[in-house]
Amino acid sequence: MNTIEQPDWVARSLKSVWHPCTQMQHHETVPLVPVSHGRGAWLYDAQGRRYLDAISSWWVNLFGHANQRINAALKDQLDLLEHAMLAGFTHEPVIRLSEQLAARTNNVLGHCFYASDGASAVEIALKMSFHFWRNSGQTDKREFVCLKGSYHGETIGALAVTDVQLFRDAYGPLLQQAHVVASPDARQAQDGESPADVAHRAAQQLEEMLQQRPGKIAAVIVEPLVQCAAGMAMYDPVYLSELRAICNRHQVHLIADEIAVGCGRTGSFFACEQAAIWPDFLCLSKGISGGYLPLSLVMTRDDIYQGFYDTDVRRGFLHSHSYTGNPLACRAALATLAIFDEDDVINRNKEQATKLGKALAMFASDSRVEHVRQRGMIWACDARTDDPAFSRKFFTAALQHELLLRPIGRTLYLMPPYILDDEETALLAQRTHAVFQQVIGA
Ligand SMILES: *Cc1c(COP(=O)(O)O)cnc(C)c1O
């Protein structure tokens, strides 16, 4: 398959490629895996070893690597149009994608604005919210609210609404301060409290915050149902319905960042559906292209769109990227949506999720973990350990068991592609527990 020797490949990468989310020096002890190809849920390295991609390559891959249907769509598109600018031009893939996504919100969010990565979609939602209020004469509405432990991306605007201590310590001086309010994370339940009680408490705190800054807040941004990067913090949907009502009462926009939780991950196509609400802005990326190509978008309501509709250029939304609405990426997304329909994915995922949860039942009776939890195709638990190297040790040990798993702190989680068969599900569960025993016992 590939004639490049693995040691040479790794050394060359370490010399010239600056890898993300990594202290490069750790690669003196943590392996760098040279991937040569992928098939279904599996990635293969240059020496033919395989790894079950149990975190969907950072939550992007929904239907496996080298998916036949997505590949076919891309090959077809490649000979038609690889790219054309979207200012003054349009093309069928971007039109069809916008129409199909809007239809999935019953046309409540009927306007789609495109970018290439998740952080840019968040930047767009923040700018649009601010600009909408300014266009309607409310120039003081320029502050944002986010939740404790929130993650919305790492560009400077998105980082301002991201509550991760490590990033704040490093880049805080560059950022516009956002208001950080309580997370509805169900793990915070006190004696006798239900997840809904925790959600209600957090919602009340948010409302108090908004009351203190009347006329100043543009938008509240949340990750619906699961704060993934915070360590798969899951919460009751009632938080979202209360949040919707609070935002309405205070004339504040609600931005739903569904970059990680959208596209069927939590059990419905959009996570917001489980609370029967629609936000004012909905951000999508990651899974929308099936994990194939960089694509992100922000969906919004007609009244917001109308707030920009004018003869004056300055009242129009001012934002663009070179690859906005790239046709190849849109075709990958259309092929992904077609799979949802053809394979009845939302319903089938309910069975998949049940099987996954059952296969992992050994964790529920393992006293070395707590807070075993699941929402759709996200399963997580917290290891009872204070070893700061738990995640790195787990990653390394998992590779030896043919698994790609990368815990967040002491949170061990699985977020696999939706296509695992029963055998793969069983293998994943058994080996995850075996790796856990090895790492926690060490
Ligand atoms: C990954 C992620 C982002 C950022 O997306 P990028 O494509 O990495 O910039 C934003 N919000 C959430 C919830 C995410 O999971």
Return averaged pLDDT per consecutive 10 residues of the chain, 442 residues in all.
62 91 84 94 94 98 98 98 97 98 98 98 98 98 98 97 93 95 97 97 98 98 98 98 98 98 98 98 98 98 98 95 97 98 98 98 97 98 96 96 97 98 98 97 71
Task: Answer yes or no: is the C-beta of 118 below 6 A from any ligand 1 atom.
Answer: yes
Task: Answer yes or no: is the C-beta of 265 below 6 A from any ligand 1 atom.
Answer: no
CATH number of 71-342: 3.40.640.10
Task: Answer yes or no: is the C-beta of 259 below 6 A from any ligand 1 atom.
Answer: yes
* Ligand 1 atom having least distance to the Cα of 119: 9
Task: Answer yes or no: is the C-beta of 284 below 6 A from any ligand 1 atom.
Answer: no
d(CA 440, CA 228): 23
pLDDT of residue 7: 61
pLDDT of residue 5: 54
pLDDT of residue 17: 92
* Ligand 1 atom having least distance to the Cα of 158: 10
Task: Answer yes or no: is the C-beta of 288 below 6 A from any ligand 1 atom.
Answer: no
pLDDT of residue 1: 45
Homologous superfamily of domain range 33-66+344-440: Aspartate Aminotransferase, domain 1 (3.90.1150.10)
pLDDT of residue 442: 55
pLDDT of residue 441: 87
Angle at 159 between CA 175 and CA 118, to 5 degrees: 145
List pLDDT tens digits, range 411-431: 999 999 999 999 999 999 999
Residue 285's alpha-carbon distances to 182, 260, 294, 304, in angstroms, are 25, 7, 8, 21
For the chain, what are the domain ranges?
33-66+344-440, 71-342
Q: Tell me the best of 286, 293, 323 to mutate to test the pocket of ligand 1, counting ligand atoms within 8 Å of each CB and taking the most.
A: 286
Helix residue ranges, H only, 380-421? 390-400
Element (H, E) at 103: helix 92-103
Task: Answer yes or no: is the C-beta of 329 below 6 A from any ligand 1 atom.
Answer: no
Task: Answer yes or no: is the C-beta of 223 below 6 A from any ligand 1 atom.
Answer: yes
